[in-house]
Structure formats: structure tokens, C-alpha cells
Amino acid sequence: LRLHPDDHRAVADVLASNWLTMGPRTQAFEAAFAAGLDAQAPPFAFAVSNCTVALHMAYVALGVGPGDEVIVPSLTFVATANAALYTGATVVLADVTSPDDLTLSVDDVLAKITPRTRAVAPVHYAGQPCDMRRLVPECKRRGIAVVEDVAHAPLADALVDDGHPRALGTIGDLGCFSFFSNKNMTTGEGGMVTTRDPALADKLRLLRSHGMTTLTLDRHRGHAYSYD
């Protein structure tokens, strides 16, 4: 890892600003990241502590809980599965495609789907996209949500139905990103959860902040004086 002198300066600027968390830099980062995913129609993007939190929030926002099954690939970092376990759901493993394609096998997902399956979490392993063109319609048809684990593939894309590339994390219902120190891009510790669904975005906004209806920064700026 080699951090650029600009990064050192950016951290020093934040320290000097006296506003350390969820401030204007966070908002600017969310906007820039969302525009990086789709300049024409940026998704909702919420910066969070890490990708594990992003995945947990994604599952909770979808209403995943006890009695539900979440299908995750057998080859991934353990957070993809752990975050589903936090909700009380049952994790079901599906195999990856082949030694040459380490992403989730859509055939094995279809074999593992039961009436209890609530979500599938494709992992775009090492930057290689899952077969979203096939997975998303199969899930949509059955009312199963798709939570993309994009920890290895920020700002990478995949071809979808119309033959045009779309950014990973904007194809399923939710996208979860990691900015941990060993990932493609880092904020030290950090993550992002994205969605195009306004109802899911409303839930994510509240889940990130313990249900508080306004942020500390908004109150500081005088946009609000209290919160529900």
C-alpha cells in the first residue's frame, strides 16, 4: 500500500477542520462514488464503517431474518455469510463456477433455492463479475433479492441484458463495497452501500444512524434542531 501525499493532506485537512465523522467530506465522497458508478443516474450511496456493516444493513433493509435463507458463494471472505447470520437467517452455500471462474455458479444457486430463499449474494471475486445477466432475472422472477458483494470490484462493470456495461453494485437490489486497507481503494476502514430503490434507500438512511431522522451535521448547520 502506498498512500499519495494528497491522501496525507486530505487526512490533515479533516483533522484541522475539527469535524471528524459523517461531515462534508463523507457527503462529497458519497456523491463522487455514486457518480463514478453511474454518471447519468447515480444510485443512492451511503458511506458506512465497513463492508460488513454494508452487507448487514442490506440484509436488514430487505427484511431478512430468522427462517429466511440467504445463498452466498462457498468461496468468499467470511463477512458475506456472517452478515446474514447477524439477522438470524440461515446461510446456504452455493459453489463457484469453475477453477477458471471463481464467481458464484448460477446453476448451483438455482439448485439451492427453496421457498425460504430471501436473498442471494453474488461476490464479484477478485474483480471478476458474476454472471449477472443470468442471475438477476432468475432471482427477480422468484421474488428473491440480489445483494452484490462488490468488496473486490469497486468501479468495475459487467454486461447486462441490453448489452451495455453497468457498474457492479448497481445491477442487483443493493451493492456493498469495502474500503479496508487491503482492498482496491481504501479509506483505512470503510465501506459503502448503494441502491437504486428509494424505499430501500430510506431504510438504509435510518439504519445507518440508529433510526435518527437528522444527522449531527444537519443539526450543526442549523437545518434541524432535534431528531426523532
Ligand X SMILES: *Cc1c(COP(=O)(O)O)cnc(C)c1O
Nearer to ligand X, 52 or 195 (CB): 52
Catalytic site includes residue 140: no
From the list 206, 122, 126, 205, the residue with the least C-alpha distance to 171 is: 122
Secondary structure tally for the chain: helices H, strands E? 8, 11
- For residue 135, give the 3-state DSSP assignment: helix
Question: Which chain residues interact with ligand X by CB under 6 A?
Answer: 50-52, 76-77, 79-80, 123, 149, 151-152, 178, 180, 191
Whole-angstrom distance, CA of residue 188 vs CA of residue 91 = 29
Q: Which is nearer to ligand X, 184 or 214 (CB)?
A: 184
E strand residue ranges, 68-115: 69-73, 90-94, 96-98, 101-104
Whose Cβ is closer to ligand X: residue 146's or residue 218's? 146
Nearest approach, Cβ of 225 to ligand X (angstroms)? 34
Q: How far is the CB of 147 from ligand X (least distance, A)?
A: 11
Shortest Å distance, C-beta 178 to ligand X: 3
Would you name the residues annotated as active-site residues?
183
